Structure 1
Amino acid sequence: MQIGIDKIGLYAPHLYVDMNKLAVRRNVDPEKFTIGIGQEKMAVAPITQDAVTMAVNAALEIVDDKDKEAIDFVILATESGIDHSKAGAIYVHHLLGLHEHARSVELKQACYGATAAIQMAKGHIALHPDSKVLVIGSDIARYGLATAGEATQGAGAVAMLIGADPDILALEENSAFKTDEVMDFWRPIHSDKALVDGKLSNEQYIAFFTNVWEQYKAQSGLGLADFAAITFHLPYTKMGKKALKAVMDEGTDDDAERLMTNYQISAEYNRMVGNIYTGSLYLNVLSLLENKEDLQPGTRIGLYSYGSGAVGEFFAGILQPNYRKQLPVKQHSQSLTSRTKISVDDYEAIFEETLPTDGSEVTLDVSADPAEVCLAGVKDDMRQYVRK
């Protein structure tokens, strides 16, 4: 039985800041952002969007009434959780109107969380072939204004339906993974902003990739020639390129040209949205599938997942015969190109606008947010969500 990605949906906030404008404000050569790290736009989440609302907005794009009956497991992967105890997946389950006979949990391991969720989903589907698992990676990347990591911020969510006989990507059994205790990126419990050792994180990202790639080759007997493309978790778009170059000498010139060309295509959405942590790898996958129109069914796509702290994994999937019919290409193109560009001043004001931390109540104006699901405020220490 084949198990994999049956549907995939995307949500990015309707606001963004131009990286050229941000660079000028920070007295940085714009090419350091646009070429050096490879980012053009950064999605900015208004206060009316959080990990829950973005997750639901992404899921609404793909979940129909038939899916609602089949989904019996909801996994929200996030490192932007809204509660220390209650899983954000409970809110997702409720706002989507799913039936009560479904497990709903939240999963955390930095940017690796959605991959762990998919592996859990595969096990569940193996036992329950008629069911579907809803996996969502949803995050708001925050490092702080004028910090070294500011240019690698972003916000968004990718939702995936995992099931048997998938229409998009059938995931193969071979999978190589590694865990090591590394303090390259973390967010202390008292902080709403991440801390990062950028140099160490870059080094570990590549080191983990080469390690799990070697494991994977030993398991599978496959090499670069067997892949149409390799997709990556991208904190910024140049990061995956560095990792790919680390193994490129293993293949032919044709392999190098094919993989690098497809890498650039796969990074298009990431360049326009920024880092969305747990959803970043799957944003990369979606960009490849939607923007590379001549990818042939039956070809193999590699996936490299990395979550600081750290866990890394390499696995692969086979494109299914009618995969393009399941991709809302026009809808994604329209949603990304119709976003509103905001000034750096507006971006900074939105960044500094946060929910109260003293238990006080707040009502938010959701009229300016075009998303179907929004955060409308906080009352009695409970977030108030609305579905328009």
Structure 2
Amino acid sequence: MNSTNPTSPANCEPKNVGIRAMELYFPRTYVEQRELEEFDKVSEGKYTIGLGQQQMAFCGDHEDIASICMTVLTMLLERYEIDPHSIGFCAVGTETLIDKSKSVKTQLMDLFGDNTDVEGVDVKNACFGGTQALFHAVDWVYANWQTETKYTCNYIALELGAFPIRLNYGVKIVLFPGRYAVVVMGDIAIYEPGAARCTGGVGAFAALIGPDALISFDRGLRATHMTNVWDFYKPIGGGSKEFPVVNGPISLTSYMKSLDSAYRAYRQKAMRLQQNCGSLKKLVSCFKLRNELIDFGSNDIKSKLQLSNVVEEVNVNSFKAVMFHSPFCRNVQKAFARLCYLDYLNGANDHLLNSEQLKPFRSMKLEETYKNRDFMTATLKASEQLWLQKVDPYLLFNKRVGNMYTPSVFAQLLALFHRSSSLESIRHERILLFSYGSGAASAMFSATICDNIDDHHSGKKVVEYVIQDVITYICDFD
């Protein structure tokens, strides 16, 4: 990618900031979940059907979190021919620590040559750290793009008159775009032998963040839910050990509570932005210079708030795809079913199958639904058709690689491009994403597929790579 192509000064303000290029890395070694079922002496289908997992990737002792992050960042820089000097920010999201002081980001600096002016460090909060690192990268571009932009003045002789000699000069301002951001996220998820070991995995994701992106994140539409819960943690000191302390039931309930809260907040913010847009248009219509002000106002809103695609009444059918953090794929299906149920409570049920079967649960408090099996069965049935359209096709890597922790939800973006027949088929489509990290931190946000078509091949490359895995027998893994 050539970072020195001159652009117009009028385009200096960053718009449509998001992912311009992306890469995913995972080891080529994995175990079959059906063979792990046999090895663990559990019932057939417990991992493959009950959890929805097919394989689980793992790495050998020749790799660690620093090496896999360096690998995926190298892939990004080399495949897209990105000049390291064009990067001004790099943050790493991970919960896989090999040092309590030194960040993984500092080790990545070896890839930037003599460019030491690269802001950012590591971000940690279980599986959510990668999402927060991404938010930091997007915000950095919006805040610094103009100040990072370089201007040069070329003086051009326009006229040479007769005697007496007159020299008239014109000034041409050439703009060299500001610097980009890079976000890297990766984890090695391992559990001690037992019920949770099958939910491990390993992977790393890297993305170039900048304006005029292929995947533009909708401004003003981040909804967070933060709370204090001890569902999953890795203590240090006297209680330090390799494997996490996990309370599975609490963690799954915390995931669903966070989902409910974040979706409610997201819908409220979408409605508020739509109302603000409508109020501004009414205000503009009161002025004499109506047309001029409307043009300025609508363009300003679209660039700053990205409201052109915001639907006032948001529901899952407003999006081409809905993506979730995936500890295991069956949990994602239950989470999507909850969103459909919340839509039903909000009066949006045209897109559901047999929504009348949800009536018995309409008066039930949300707190009572988290562990209610009848509720779960009914919502799964009502949402099944949409699940197959909007979620399941994009869990390709999650099913085969396993729980990658921080990259989990973003691997689904690559699967989206692989599953699409062409970029034209998803152009201007919107995506809803939910990220969760134990402890707990979560966010719901959305993105729009824009007109940039340079990065479409990224998804194809990675999916070709996943087919080349190396089978490792269970005895070697154990």
Same fold (TM over 0.5): yes
Counterpart code for 2:95: E
Task: Give 1:163's aligned residue.
Answer: 210
Is the 8 Å Cα contact of residues 228 and 259 (structure 1) preserved in structure 2? Answer: no
Indicate the RMSD between aligned Cα atoms, in angstroms: 1.8
Is the 8 Å Cα contact of residues 189 and 404 (structure 2) preserved in structure 1? Answer: yes
Aligned pair partner of 2:259 in 209, 215, 219: 209
Q: After TM superposition, give the deviation of residue 227 of structure 1 in Å.
A: 1.1
Counterpart code for 2:331: M
Q: After TM superposition, give the deviation of residue 272 of structure 1 in Å.
A: 0.5
**Greater strand fraction, Structure 1 or Structure 2:** 1
Is the 8 Å Cα contact of residues 229 and 258 (structure 1) preserved in structure 2? Answer: no
Task: Give 1:78's aligned residue.
Answer: 94
Separation in 1 of the partners of 2:232 and 2:421?
Answer: 36
Say if 2:126 is the partner of 1:110.
yes
Say if 2:60 is the partner of 1:46.
yes
Aligned pair partner of 2:201 in 154, 166, 183: 154
CA deviation map 1:148-190 (0-9, x unaligned): 2101000010111111111233443211101111011111121
Separation in 1 of the partners of 2:222 and 2:403?
Answer: 24
Say if 2:330 is the partner of 1:314.
no
Task: Give 2:104's aligned residue.
Answer: 88
Give the secondary structure class of the aligned counterpart of 1:17: strand
Is the 8 Å Cα contact of residues 172 and 315 (structure 1) preserved in structure 2? Answer: no
Task: Give 2:378's aligned residue.
Answer: none
Is the 8 Å Cα contact of residues 169 and 323 (structure 1) preserved in structure 2? Answer: no
Separation in 2 of the partners of 1:43 and 1:198?
Answer: 21
Aligned pair partner of 1:188 in 215, 235, 238: 235
Say if 2:473 is the partner of 1:337.
no
Give the secondary structure class of the aligned counterpart of 1:157: strand
Q: After TM superposition, give the deviation of residue 134 of structure 1 in Å.
A: 1.1
Task: Give 2:434's aligned residue.
Answer: 304
Determine what percentage of the aligned residue pairs are the same residue: 27
Is the 8 Å Cα contact of residues 321 and 390 (structure 2) preserved in structure 1? Answer: yes
Separation in 1 of the partners of 2:199 and 2:473?
Answer: 18
Q: After TM superposition, give the deviation of residue 90 of structure 1 in Å.
A: 1.0
Is the 8 Å Cα contact of residues 19 and 30 (structure 1) preserved in structure 2? Answer: no
TM-score, length of structure 2 as denominator length: 0.70
Q: 1:67 to 1:301 in 2, by over 3 A?
A: farther
Q: 1:25 to 1:13 in 2, by over 3 A?
A: same
Counterpart code for 2:457: L
Say if 2:299 is the partner of 1:242.
no
Task: Give 1:134's aligned residue.
Answer: 182
When structure 1 is superposed on structure 2, of 188-197 and 63-72 the one drifting more is 63-72
How many residue pairs get matched? 347
Q: 1:153 to 1:98 in 2, by over 3 A?
A: farther
Separation in 2 of the partners of 1:223 and 1:262?
Answer: 12
Task: Give 2:25's aligned residue.
Answer: 11
TM-score, length of structure 1 as denominator length: 0.85
**Unaligned 5+ residue runs, structure 2?**
1-14, 146-177, 272-313, 353-382
Separation in 1 of the partners of 2:82 and 2:188?
Answer: 30
Aligned pair partner of 2:76 in 62, 74, 77: 62
Structure 2 counterparts to residues 173-184 of structure 1, below 5 A: 173-184=220-231
Counterpart code for 1:52: A
CA radius of gyration, larger in: 2
Say if 2:117 is the partner of 1:101.
yes
CA deviation map 1:334-368 (0-9, x unaligned): 321111111111001xxxxxxxxxxxxxxxxxxxx
Say if 2:39 is the partner of 1:22.
no
Separation in 1 of the partners of 2:453 and 2:233?
Answer: 37
Counterpart code for 2:253: E
Counterpart code for 2:188: I
Give the secondary structure class of the aligned counterpart of 1:304: strand
Task: Give 1:286's aligned residue.
Answer: 414
Task: Give 2:317's aligned residue.
Answer: 225
Is the 8 Å Cα contact of residues 60 and 96 (structure 1) preserved in structure 2? Answer: no
Task: Give 2:302's aligned residue.
Answer: none
Is the 8 Å Cα contact of residues 417 and 456 (structure 2) preserved in structure 1? Answer: no
Q: After TM superposition, give the deviation of residue 72 of structure 1 in Å.
A: 1.2
Where does structure 1 differ by over 4 angstroms across 4 or more consecutive aligned residues? Answer: none
